[in-house]
């Protein structure tokens, strides 16, 4: 466990810029989306999006819904590529470092910097929409599991095999980005607008 945390902390030090961006974007999303519910249409400007002038809240939220998974994906790919599990030139394969330790460190990284922020964001949005988050925990955990499986198994593995660098312009990542908003929209349709929804303006 000590070595797993040691590898995890090394990744945190290495990827602090990516982590900062991947944490900042969900915060911005969590701030903008509820505002767009209250001020739909072209006149709704948030404190953040207002800075750009031409973006209303809905557009800003639509951009963020793409940027958030993109940032998460990029961070995860960077973390995995820093110690690739495949290939014969990797630095760690001739060091006393077991692949299970490495994999555990990467899983911990995803849990801390993708799953946890995502869960907090979901809980926050549910609460802002006037729902009781505790009623939807099973669904949220199921979504977490699916996203983790995509991030952990399919996508990085495919990227490792296909891409020489951390380029994200691949059919797989594109399909991921296409599916994410669709899934979000699907979830949104299933959630009726709560009459208890209250305005929330932490920056105002």
Residue among 52, 91, 141, 142 that touches another protein (CB under 8 A): 91
Q: By C-beta, is 87 or 202 nearer to another protein?
A: 87
Residue among 2, 43, 135, 196 that touches another protein (CB under 8 A): 2
Q: By C-beta, is 58 or 83 nearer to another protein?
A: 83
- The 12-51 contact track toward another protein, x by CB under 8 A, reads -xx-------------------------------------
Segment interacting with another protein (CB under 8 A) among 18-26, 67-75, 97-105, 115-123:
97-105
**Residue with the two structure tokens 């944490």:** 23
Binding of another protein by 6 (CB under 8 A): yes
Q: How would you label 145-156 residue by residue, b for 16+ Cβ within 10 Å and e otherwise?
A: eebbebbbeebb
Q: By C-beta, is 53 or 88 nearer to another protein?
A: 88
Q: By C-beta, is 95 or 135 nearer to another protein?
A: 95
Segment interacting with another protein (CB under 8 A) among 17-25, 87-95, 157-165, 176-184:
87-95
Q: By C-beta, is 96 or 195 nearer to another protein?
A: 96
Angle at 80 between CA 74 and CA 84, to 5 degrees: 140
Size of the site for another protein (CB under 8 A): 18
Q: Which residues bind another protein (CB under 8 A)?
A: 2-3, 6, 10, 13-14, 82, 88-91, 93-99
């Amino acid at each position: 466990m000590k070595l797993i945390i040691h590898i995890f902390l090394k990744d945190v030090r290495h990827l602090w810029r990516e982590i900062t961006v991947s944490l900042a974007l969900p915060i911005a999303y969590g701030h903008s989306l509820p505002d767009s519910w209250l001020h739909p249409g072209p006149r709704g400007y948030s404190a953040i999006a207002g800075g750009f002038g031409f973006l209303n809240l809905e557009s800003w939220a639509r951009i963020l819904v793409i940027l958030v998974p993109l940032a998460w994906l990029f961070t995860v790919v960077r973390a995995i590529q820093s110690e690739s599990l495949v290939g014969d030139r990797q630095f760690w394969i001739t060091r006393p470092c077991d692949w299970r330790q490495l994999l555990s460190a990467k899983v911990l990284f995803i849990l801390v910097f993708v799953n946890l922020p995502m869960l907090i964001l979901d809980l926050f949005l549910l609460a802002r929409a006037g729902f009781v988050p505790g009623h939807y925990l099973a669904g949220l955990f199921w979504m977490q599991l699916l996203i983790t499986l995509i991030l952990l198994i399919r996508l990085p593995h495919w990227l490792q095999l296909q891409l020489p660098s951390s380029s994200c312009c691949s059919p797989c990542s594109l399909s991921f980005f296409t599916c994410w908003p669709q899934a979000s929209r699907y979830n949104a349709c299933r959630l009726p607008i709560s009459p208890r929804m209250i305005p929330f303006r932490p920056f105002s």
